[in-house]
Structures are given as C-alpha cells and as structure tokens.
Amino acid sequence: MIRVPAEVRDRLAVIAEARGSSIRSLVQEFAESTLTEEERRERAERTRAYLAENFGVEVGDEESAAMGRKLREAFARHQGEAA
C-alpha cells in the first residue's frame, strides 16, 4: 500500500482511466521506466564508451552537460507546444 494525498490519488485515477489502465499499472509502469541516478550514470558511461569505440567521438563532461541542457530545453518547448 502506498499512501498519497487525496488529490494525488485522484489525479492518478484520472490519468489511469484516460490510458484505460489502473492506478496500480500506472505506478508499476513508472517504477519500471524511471531510472535511478546511478542507472543514469551507468547508461551515460556506456553511451560514451559506445560513441568512442564505434565513432571515434570522445564526449567530455562539459559537452555532455551542454547536450543535456539542449535536450531538456527542446523537450520543454515540445511540451509547451503540445499544451
């Protein structure tokens, strides 16, 4: 059992209904698809190694941070356009 405020529960119910799902399935999907900070770091390192090995591209921390910012900005713009 997970306790959340009533307004959060109600919102989850609306989202789940819109998806033709249950709150339980929605929470399970979230838990399975959301990476921990450690998992994100591991994935980033694997990606850097792949780029270096297969394309000869070395991505530094600054480049990686800049690309992350650009991706977040693009995502935010896309979300704003969809609203």
* 81 pLDDT more than 90: no
Q: Which pLDDT value is given to residue 54?
A: 97
The model's pLDDT over 53-67, given as tens digits with 9 standing for 90+, comes to 999 999 998 998 998
CA distances from 48 to 34, 38, 51, 61, 70 (A): 21, 15, 5, 10, 17
Inter-residue contact 12 to 6 (CB < 8 Å): no
Q: Model pTM?
A: 0.63
Residue pair 23/16 in contact by the 8 Å Cβ criterion? yes
Residue 20 pLDDT exceeds 90: yes
Integer Rg of the chain from CA: 18
- Chain segment 23-60, per-residue pLDDT in tens: 999 999 999 999 999 999 999 999 999 999 999 999 99
